Amino acid sequence: MIAFSRTLLVPALLSLSLVAVACGDKPPSSYDQVQKETQGQSAVSKQAVNGTQLNKYFPRSADGFSVVAAQEKKGFAEHKVNKGGKNVAMLSISDTVSTPESTSKYKQSTSQIAGFPSVDQGQNGTGVLVSDRFQVKAQSRDPSFTKQDRVNWIQKFNLNGLSKQK
């Protein structure tokens, strides 16, 4: 009986100790640490302009192009440009007050659109920085929407009005 008990006791104790270790306190993962540090914080600055206020600076539908609001949130608004039922471009305004580092690419700019520093962003994007704060972008979603189209559409924004936005 004693031998039988040992053969059952050893595996049973080993199993219990593994369960106890597995259920014990684990060191926090890097995700847990970041979650703890950022809890209650917002990635968007309280000073960021609400997206609904940015909508009024977008160009309107014209010349067979339909401009449709796609997304708005604090510090950002985006509209689709459609032609013939096909999405050909995206237009956006971002309030960089929450991400001031995103304006650095405009510091060395040697080109301008409508008097504002401009940069190409990859092969399909063009942007301008308005009042060192608002990034206005046009992104091609179809090859028919060229760089010149992006420049033309950026010029259709009410950039002077946006420059007065607080």
Q: Which domains does the chain have, with CATH numbers?
A: 51-163 (3.40.1000)
Q: How confident is the model at residue 37 (pLDDT cuts 50, 70, 90)?
A: very low
C-alpha span between 49 and 78 (Å, rounded): 14
pTM recorded for the entire structure: 0.73
Is it the case that residue 105 has pLDDT exceeding 90?
A: yes
Is it the case that residue 112 has pLDDT exceeding 80?
A: yes
Is it the case that residue 27 has pLDDT exceeding 80?
A: no
Q: Give the residue, 89 or 34, on which the prediction is more confident.
A: 89
Alpha-carbon distance values, 145 to 40, 65, 90, 157 (Å):
42, 11, 10, 17
112's enclosing H/E stretch is strand 111-113
Q: Give the residue, 130 or 19, on which the prediction is more confident.
A: 130
